[in-house]
Amino acid sequence: MNDFEVGSIVQGKVTGIEKYGIFVKLDNDYSGLIHISEIRNSFISNINKFAEIDEVIYSEIKSIDHDKKQAILSVKNLNYRTNKNNSVKESVRGFYPLKENLPIWLNEKKEEYGINS
């Protein structure tokens, strides 16, 4: 798959976990690394809590080398984990995006329908 671009969200399979990062196979040719600094902004005492070998996860491409077919990936601010019954797992940010955006969305709808606050 040669259409990987910086900023794209891609699906991949975890192939290795080291104390410094998580290795991900993106397709038959491309692979990537999620450096520990690209998992979350706070201290990580055990990287194994964030992924398991053979787990399918989503990540964002931060940079890509098409010649080497390698990518630098990030899972910050993503709901990157999935599970077998397709239920949602909480992201590292939890409900904060909803809390931050709900007042904005409500005001937009009020304006759309001509409702004064």
- The number of folded domains in the chain is 1
Residue 2 inside a domain? The answer is no
Confidence class for position 13, pLDDT limits 50, 70, 90: very high
3 found inside a domain: no
In a domain, 24, yes or no: yes
The answer for residues whose C-beta is within 8 angstroms of residue 19's C-beta and 6 or more apart is 36, 47
State the pLDDT at residue 71. 95
CA dist list (Å): 14 to 33, 94, 107: 10, 23, 41
Which residues form the domain of 106? 9-113
- Asked if the structure places residue 17 within a domain, the reply is yes
Higher-confidence position of 64 and 90: 64
CATH code where residue 74 lies: 2.40.50.140
The span from the CA of 7 to the CA of 4, in Å, is: 9
The H-or-E segment that residue 70 falls in is strand 70-74
**pLDDT for 90 beyond 60:** no
pLDDT at 48 exceeding the cut of 80: yes
- Tens-digit pLDDT profile for residues 53-78: 999 999 999 999 999 999 999 999 88
| Residue 77: inside a domain | yes
Residue 102 lies in a domain: yes
Is residue 4 situated within a structural domain? no
Percent of the chain with pLDDT over 70: 85
Residue 29 lies in a domain: yes
pLDDT at 1 over 50: no
